Amino acid sequence: MNAYKTATDKGITGTPTQIVAILRALSQENIPAAKLRRWLSDNELLSYDGNGWFGKLEEVTLSAELTAGIRSLKERVLSGDPVRTADPAFAPKVLAIVQGVAAAVPEIAGLVDSFYALDGDRPYKDLTVEQYAAQVADSESLSVKQTALQLVETAVESAREEFRKAESTPESIIAAAVAVLGGG
């Protein structure tokens, strides 16, 4: 996958560092609420029995910010709405919540990776600013080459048209080609 193309397609803007931070948080698809619910339950983090929540995240002391983030996850479980991990506006917030959960319950290894495995992983989780810059440069170079190729194709088509109009003598064909290519 090309990070620059993804950033362009999703309308991600900012400095290269900001863009890379968002790309590193993006997942392949949004995570369905049913998968989130199963993940929370399987890891004994949170479950809802109809009367209240229980699990490891209910037993540990959390920061106000992480508590608000977990409240958002609970809302997703109850509403059935997906966790918007593939949306550039929300992906960094979700990643911060999941990293906070992993830090709050360190005895459960691999929580971040197991969370993102629910939807196909984060394709750019290891992307560097340097790699992104190289992709931007490659894309710009390709764009220049494509523009040049289009100009040549247009010139060739114009030359063909001039050839069709010209008399069929070798001299007239050469003169038409030189005129189209700017030499006449």
- Please indicate, yes or no, if residue 124 is contained in any of the structural domains: no
**Domain span holding position 164:** 129-180
Number of domains in the chain: 2
The answer, yes or no, to whether residue 7 has pLDDT greater than 70, is: yes
Quick one: 97 and 35 in the same domain? yes
To the nearest whole number, what is the mean pLDDT of the chain?
87
Residue 154's pLDDT is 73
pLDDT value at residue 83: 95
Residue 77 shares a structural domain with residue 113: yes
pLDDT of residue 120: 82
Per residue, the 3-state secondary structure of 111-155, as one string, reads HHHHHHHHHCCCCCCCCCHHHHHHHHHHHHHHHHHHHHHHHHHHH
pLDDT (tens digit per residue) in 47-90: 999 899 999 999 998 899 999 999 999 999 999 999 999 999 99
- Do 13 and 78 lie in a common domain? yes
Predicted pLDDT at 166: 56
Verify that 43 and 76 share a domain, yes or no: yes
